[in-house]
Amino acid sequence: MPKTILYIHQSAELYGSDKALFYLVKGISAKQKFNPIIVLPNDGPLKDLLESHNIRVIIFPVIKVSRSMFKPLALIKLPFTILRTTKGLNKILKNESIDLIHSNTLAVLLGGFYARRYKIKHIWHVHEIIKKPKIVSFFYPLIVRLLSQQVVFNSKASKDFLCKDNKALEEKSIVNLNGIDRDVFFTSEKEIIKTRNKLFNANKDDIVLALVGRISKWKGQHLLLDAFVKCRVKYKNLRLIFVGSAPPNQEHLLEDLNNKIEIYNLQEYCKIIPFRKNIWNIWDSIDIAVVPSTEPEPFGLVALEAMLAKKPVIAAKHGGLKEIVDEDKTGFFFKPNDSKDLSKVIKQLVEDKSRIIDLGLKGSEKAIKDFSLTRHINQFVQIYDKM
Ligand code: UDP
């Protein structure tokens, strides 16, 4: 009998934790011994993608953690919400025998409470480092420990953060680094020239820096722009692209970024490209990936993708990025939040074109060797089997 695993996730977009879930579930469902069912809070591209692979998706409220949840009235209502929602989900699943629940990210509470109420084993898969608000970061270690039999972190950085001074939580925790396989052909030379021309306003000899990721307060778009403007004084062939959109209701972040590009008078050399489904075409067409996140990345899937596209990575030296990039072998680090240091590192790399190619090739070798999807999935299979 296949084991039925209920996955509960917080969004139906296609950013980091969404893609990580998709890759995992796709791999798991290919093994005959598992039957995954996914719960998402709403429709979206992730739902379509899962369903196109014949994976069952249920749309249901996942008790998503938000700031408003910590207002006094909302806190009073929370136990009732938990009771009502867990019962509602149980009704939907009445014909299923669920063997295991896998909560993907700390943002969903439904999995932990559902598992507790109906006595099902629960894995919490942590993809974040939550420092603020303080009240949330204070309670999480306790909640995660009480509601899970196994906690899986996507990096040592995210594990160290949540398990700090908490031996009981540490004992039920392990790290399973994300993995991806590139299952898309490399873009043809002709197509690359077209993309660079059309989307980046760049020719063959220009050097294109890219930050791929949602436009947010902590992904570092402004920091990179500050560094870029310093570099452009000497290196006129530099281009910068930001790829990704602002989250719903935060469109002002896009406006702020556009304004800054205008103030610097960089409209010709710096482009913002809204969320792209086909990200490999972008990775293949750029020269250097920059991951300048101002808060520590829990993992940083974009660094791994860039490496698989044979691109060097310039990364802020904190969080999960330290576990992906090798200094001076597959990329370079700079001091987090320091645009001057970032510009220094960019200048150093753009001086030497052959170094860009060499670091990119080494990055690809490392990504294939150490971050394969097969390794990532097999580690989860072992965990599921053990439970
Ligand atoms: N991404 C994408 N299209 C875009 C921008 C981003 O597909 O236009 C994807 C990117 O390829 C990566 C993910 O979003 O897979 C971002 O993951 P990461 O772990 O770097 O950051 P997170 O979204 O988890 O904060």
Angle at which helices 156-163 and 134-147 cross, to 10°: 100
* CA-angle at 297, arms to 312 and 221, nearest 5°: 70
From 9, 104, 212, 286, mutation site for ligand 1 pocket: most ligand atoms within 8 A of C-beta: 212
Closest ligand 1 atom to residue 219 Cα is 25
Closest ligand 1 atom to residue 274 Cα is 8
Please report which residue ranges of the chain form alpha helices under DSSP H: 16-30, 45-52, 72-92, 110-117, 134-147, 156-163, 167-171, 189-200, 221-232, 252-263, 279-285, 301-308, 321-324, 339-350, 353-370, 373-386
Closest ligand 1 atom to residue 243 Cα is 8
Q: For residue 167, how far is its CA from the centre of ligand 1 (angstroms)?
A: 33
Is 243 near ligand 1, meaning CB less than 6 Å away?
Answer: yes
Residue whose tokens read 């994976």: 55
Closest ligand 1 atom to residue 19 Cα is 15
Residues near 252 by beta carbon (within 8 Å), at least 6 away in sequence? 246
Q: For residue 320, how far is its CA from the centre of ligand 1 (angstroms)?
A: 15
Length reported for the chain: 387
Closest ligand 1 atom to residue 17 Cα is 24
Is 112 near ligand 1, meaning CB less than 6 Å away?
Answer: no
Residues near 149 by beta carbon (within 8 Å), at least 6 away in sequence? 121, 122, 123, 172, 387
Q: For residue 24, how far is its CA from the centre of ligand 1 (angstroms)?
A: 16
Distance CA(115)–CA(86), nearest Å, equals 9
Is 305 near ligand 1, meaning CB less than 6 Å away?
Answer: yes
Q: DSSP characters for 220-246?
A: -HHHHHHHHHHHHTT-TTEEEEEE--P
Is 111 near ligand 1, meaning CB less than 6 Å away?
Answer: no
Q: 235, 270, 268, 241: which is closest to 352 by C-alpha?
A: 235
Token output for 250: 């935060």
Phi and psi at 357, nearest 5°, equal: -70, -40
Q: What pLDDT, on the 0 to 100 scale, is given for residue 154? A: 97
Q: 45, 57, 24: which is closest to 277 by C-alpha?
A: 45
Is 16 near ligand 1, meaning CB less than 6 Å away?
Answer: yes
Nearest CA to ligand 1 atom 25: 16
Note the pTM of the prediction, 2 decimals. 0.95
Distance CA(150)–CA(123), nearest Å, equals 5
Q: For residue 244, how far is its CA from the centre of ligand 1 (angstroms)?
A: 8
Angle at which helices 110-117 and 134-147 cross, to 10°: 30
From 211, 302, 323, mutation site for ligand 1 pocket: most ligand atoms within 8 A of C-beta: 302
From 297, 301, 371, mutation site for ligand 1 pocket: most ligand atoms within 8 A of C-beta: 301
Per residue of the chain (387 residues), what is the pLDDT tens digit?
899 999 999 999 999 999 999 999 999 999 889 999 999 999 999 999 999 999 999 999 999 988 788 788 888 999 999 999 999 999 999 999 999 999 999 999 999 999 999 999 999 999 999 888 777 788 899 999 999 999 999 999 999 999 998 999 999 999 999 999 998 999 999 999 999 999 999 999 999 999 999 999 999 999 999 999 999 999 999 999 999 999 988 999 999 999 999 999 999 999 999 999 999 999 999 999 999 999 999 999 999 999 999 999 999 999 999 999 999 999 999 999 999 999 999 999 999 999 999 999 999 999 999 999 999 999 999 999 998
Q: What pLDDT, on the 0 to 100 scale, is given for residue 178? A: 97
Residue whose tokens read 């197509």: 191
Q: What pLDDT, on the 0 to 100 scale, is given for residue 74? A: 85
Q: What pLDDT, on the 0 to 100 scale, is given for residue 69? A: 82
Q: What pLDDT, on the 0 to 100 scale, is given for residue 138? A: 82
Q: What is the CB-side half-sphere exposure of residue 6 using CA atoms within 13 A?
A: 26
Q: For residue 68, how far is its CA from the centre of ligand 1 (angstroms)?
A: 26
Q: What pLDDT, on the 0 to 100 scale, is given for residue 165? A: 86
Q: 290, 276, 305: which is closest to 346 by C-alpha?
A: 290
Q: How far is CA 257 from CA 248, 261, 266, in A?
A: 16, 6, 11
Distance CA(307)–CA(302), nearest Å, equals 9
Nearest CA to ligand 1 atom 23: 16
Give me the amino acid identity at 3.
K
Distance CA(246)–CA(252), nearest Å, equals 8
Q: For residue 20, how far is its CA from the centre of ligand 1 (angstroms)?
A: 10
Q: 3, 8, 16: which is closest to 216 by C-alpha?
A: 16
Q: Is 304 strand, coil or helix?
A: helix
Q: DSSP characters for 53-103?
A: TT-EEEE----B--GGGGSHHHHHHHHHHHHHHHHHHHHHTTT----EEEE
Is 14 near ligand 1, meaning CB less than 6 Å away?
Answer: yes
Is 21 near ligand 1, meaning CB less than 6 Å away?
Answer: no
Q: How far is CA 150 from CA 117, 121, 306, in A?
A: 17, 9, 31
Nearest CA to ligand 1 atom 15: 16
